[in-house]
Amino acid sequence: MVVESLGVTRRAPTASWATIATVGRRRIFAWWLGTRLLVFLTAAVMQIIGAPRTQPGFLAHPFDLVGSWDSHWYRIVADRGYLFVPHQYSDPAFFPLLPIVERLGTFVGLPDIVTAALVANLGFLVGLMALYALGCELLPETDARRAAIYLAIFPMGFVFSLAYPEGLVLPLLALAALCALRDRWLAAAVCAAAATLARPEGLFLVFPLAAIAMRRWPMASESLRARSLAAVLSPAAALASFSAYLWWTLGDPLAWSKSERAWGRSFSVHGLRNAFAQLLTAPRNDNTWIYRDVVFCVLYVVLLVVARRAGLPRSWIVAGAATVLLPIASGSFTSDARFGLLAPAVFWGLAIVGRRPALDRALLVLCPLLLVAGVVTLPLRWP
pLDDT of residue 14: 58
> Which 3 state secondary structure label does DSSP give 354?
coil
DSSP assignment letter at 195: H
Residue spans of alpha helices (H) in 10-56: 15-48
List Cα–Cα distances, 286 to 12, 146, 293, 327, in angstroms. Answer: 55, 37, 15, 21
Surface-to-core class of residue 259, CB atoms within 10 Å of its CB (0-12 exposed, 13-18 middle, 19+ buried)? buried
pLDDT of residue 88: 87
Contacts of 241 (CB under 8 A, 6+ apart): 197
pLDDT, block means (10 residues), the chain with 383 residues: 40 66 93 97 90 74 85 94 89 95 92 94 98 96 97 97 96 97 97 97 97 94 95 97 96 91 81 88 86 96 98 97 95 94 98 97 97 93 84
pLDDT of residue 285: 80
